[in-house]
Every structure is written in structure tokens, then in C-alpha cells.
Amino acid sequence: MVLNRKTYRWFYDHIHCRYYNLLTRWCFLPFGGEKKFREEMLTSIDFQSQDKILDMCCGTGNATFAIAKKAAKKAEIIGIDLSSGQINFARRKNYNFYFMVMDAIRTGFKDCYFDKVFITHAIHEMSRKIRLDTLNEARRILKEKGRVIILELDNPKNLLIRLFIGFWFFYWLPFNFETPTRKDMLKQGLTNEVKEAGFRNIIKISKYKGVFQMVAGNK
């Protein structure tokens, strides 16, 4: 079952935002806890002194905070999410940057504004069309030679790891709405879709024995 965008937004606004932080803490426990996990996922990213950074689909802001900790002090950091419920929870944490309710496929930011656009653990929830629309929007708002950085699930080769992750991440639930879009993302190949959106010099770094991936490309 793939949720339409109206239902998806309602679900996140009124239900999912209330237990999202608890769920992420649970999911990242096998990887040393959420703080260590988010730091590890960013180890290969270089930041510049005055980066303008956008965290697309920022949820409740935990990934945005991890990005901010590694970014330079003068960096401008903005987090956006389609869900007002998620953004409300992010704003309560009093991080020293902006959170806004905004659609990732039509952000309203001017062309060529950001140095880096992060999309953190959200692409797998999108249909193929929305994935490509989001990547195209990221490319539009990036400066020339700006960089999109996607932190996502992957499909580990080891059968035992796949079985464990399937259990731990609740893939077995029959009403898990992420299952069809996650499977399609893995089938299409995230690097292929980043290339299809017009990015160059694409790299993929496998993390945690293939459970996660970091895919990045230049405009």
C-alpha cells in the first residue's frame, strides 16, 4: 500500500510525529545508538566555512542537529519537512537554525542558493516520481558544483543481516506503508536515480555491512 500525499501528511502530522523520536532511537540501537550512528553516517562529508545547507525532509530535526555539529560555525542551516507535526517537534528542541514546513518537490527557494542539500532517510518513503521530483528540486536550488548527499537504507548481501534488519525495522508488518516504495528504490538503484536527475561524479559509500548507504553527487 502506497499512501497518497494527503494521507501521508495527515499521518505524520497527527500520529507518526508523536513517536518518531522513540522509533529512531529503537532503529539505531544495533548501530551504537542514534548519536553515534548519525555521526558515522557523516564521516565522509567535508564541510566548508560558510556553507549554506538544507536538510530536506528533516523530520524532528535529529539529523539536522548532527549535520550542524559537524558543519562550521558560520554555516547557514535550514531544515524543511512536509509535516507540520514533525516541524513542531523540531522547533521545540531550540536548535539554533531554522525549521520550516515546506514541500521538498516545490521548496520555493531561489535557484543556486545552497552549497549542500541533505536528504536523510526519507527517499525510501517516496514513490519513484516523487523521488525524482525531489532530486530535481535539490539540483535546482544547489549552486554550481553544489552537492546532494543522501543518507538511506540499503539492501545488505548477507542473508542473516537482511533477516535481522527486516525484523528490527518492522518490515514484516503487513501495513508498513514504506515497504513498496523502499523495495522500488532498491530495485531502481539510488545511484541510478541520482544520475537520472542530472548529478555528476556520483559516489556511493556502504555503511554498516550494507544496511545503509551514503550517495552523493555534484550539480
**20-71, pLDDT tens digit by residue?**
999 999 999 999 999 999 999 999 999 998 999 999 999 999 999 999 999 9
- Measuring CA to CA, which residue among 131, 109, 99 is closest to residue 196? 131
Residue 3 has pLDDT above 80, yes or no: no
Is the domain spanning 5-218 CATH 3.40.50.150? The answer is: yes
**Domain residue ranges in the chain:** 5-218
pLDDT of residue 210 exceeding 90 = yes
Q: Is 1's pLDDT higher than 60?
A: no
Residue with cell 523540531: 90
DSSP 200: E
Could you give the residue ranges of the DSSP H alpha helices within the chain? 5-11, 17-27, 34-41, 62-70, 84-92, 128-141, 159-168, 178-188, 190-196
Q: Which candidate, 113, 134, 114, places its Cα nearest to that of 122? A: 134
Dump pLDDT digits (tens) for 76-111: 999 999 999 999 999 988 677 899 999 999 999 999
In the DSSP assignment, the letter for residue 127 is -
Q: How does DSSP assign 62-89, residue by residue?
A: HHHHHHHHHS-TT-EEEEEES-HHHHHH
**For 162-184, how does the pLDDT look when each residue is reduced to its tens digit (9 = 90+)?**
999 999 999 998 888 899 999 99
- What is the pLDDT, as a whole number, of residue 42? 96
Residue 2 has pLDDT above 70, yes or no: no
Rounded distance between C-alpha atoms, residue 48 and residue 52, angstroms: 9
